[in-house]
Amino acid sequence: MTESPPATGRRLRVLAAMSGGVDSAVAAARAAEAGHDVTGVHLALSANPRSFRTGARGCCTVEDSRDARRAADVIGIPFYVWDLAERFRADVVDDFIAEYREGRTPNPCLRCNEKIKFAALLDKALALGFDAVCTGHYATVVRGPEGRRELHRSADLGKDQSYVLGVLDERQLAHAMFPLGDTRATKAEIRAEAERRGLAVARKPDSHDICFIADGDTRGFLAGHLGAAEGDILDEEGRKVGTHQGAHAFTIGQRRGLRIGHPAPDGKPRYVLDISPVSNTVTVGPAESLDIVALTAVKPRWCGAPPAGPGAFTAQLRAHGAETPVTAEPAGEEIRVRFAEPVRGVAPGQAIVLYDGTRVVGSGTIATTERAVPAAAPDRG
């Protein structure tokens, strides 16, 4: 397999999504250097564009827009700002809040790639006559044995971002360009390349956490939108061991910040096992009760044709998580997955991404899980 741009043998019209960071700036510069007709665009996604980042957090601010414009000027490409704030709020921010309201733990980066960068942005780009959208993601698009485009991990597995791109379908991959995906350069070397190119963002800190929560206080953000609602913290037998001010403040596998007044009988730490928005309760228990042996995922997204039946794959459960062997089978609008060994920290709402070697097979949103040790029946007295 060889790396394949959206088309070969001709100069492409490329729309480079420029966040104002170093990766997207270098990606745009490489696309232009390769001879493509590149136009830079910064997506205004914040409903309050006058806000500025806090430290290295946040994105899509006035500061970022200016950094992106300066980078485009240095590269020598046209530059525009497109306002997608309303679409971003509806498809990403509101979805994030709604998922937490239902006791699930979403990944907004996947939703942004699916709904904004490779749906709203790509659709607009194609309507304007562009051939491809270019981003600074670390992943590769290759042409497989049958000529179909496939999404693969980046050459440097330490920087790989294919997990957050696992929602892209074959049509979207046909118009995606990731100039950084085939590089084994360290982040320091990417910054050095930006410096050589005269890009002022060479020394700009990376953004992190959730981009629309600039101060990094996810709990405070959710409390502001969902409000406080006192509820019970229960053990596996259904006994009350504490109270909370909002179930949305907890995630499956959480250990710290539980504020449980009653210690466990064995003295061992307890973890969040379940969140019930209907009863507004949080269930806690020992670490071994977090072990998951199987799950069902919904809303499958296939990076090409779905598997014809059950098969052996590896799965990744979080953006920087390790791979784990699984067997998986498409079942209509579901994917049924069984793990070779129990795994922990699996929460409904998270994405599971399936791989065949370095190739991304597809992804789904975790709906239900099966524990290795079934929960004990509540003690009704």
Residue 152 pairs in a beta bridge with 140, 359
Strands 139-143 and 2-3: antiparallel
Distance CA 252, CA 307 (A): 30
Rounded alpha-carbon distances, angstroms, from residue 201 to 38, 67, 81, 191: 19, 7, 18, 8
Count other Cβ atoms within 10 Å, centred on residue 112.
25
Q: Where are the beta strands (DSSP E) in the chain?
A: 2-3, 13-17, 37-44, 79-83, 132-134, 139-143, 149-153, 176-177, 231-234, 240-244, 271-276, 281-285, 292-302, 311-316, 324-331, 334-343, 351-356, 359-371
Active-site residue identified among 59, 60, 109, 211 = 211
Strands 311-316 and 292-302: unpaired
CB 343 within 8 A of CB 317: yes
134 a catalytic residue: no
Closest by Cα among 35, 29, 36 to 14: 36
Closest by Cα among 36, 138, 20 to 79: 20
Rounded alpha-carbon distances, angstroms, from residue 237 to 78, 213, 258, 284, 381: 63, 36, 18, 10, 10
Burial 47-72 (b: 16+ CB within 10 A, else e): eebeeebeeebbbbbbbbbebbbbbb
Count other Cβ atoms within 10 Å, centred on residue 102.
13
112 a catalytic residue: yes
Q: Indicate the SS3 state at residue 108.
A: helix
DSSP string over 78-97: -EEEEE-HHHHIIIIIHHHH
Distance CA 13, CA 181 (A): 20
Start-to-end CA distance of the chain, whole Å, equals 64
In one letter, which amino acid is 155?
A
Residue 16 pairs in a beta bridge with 40, 134
Active-site residue identified among 59, 60, 109, 112 = 112
Q: Which residues are catalytic?
A: 112, 211
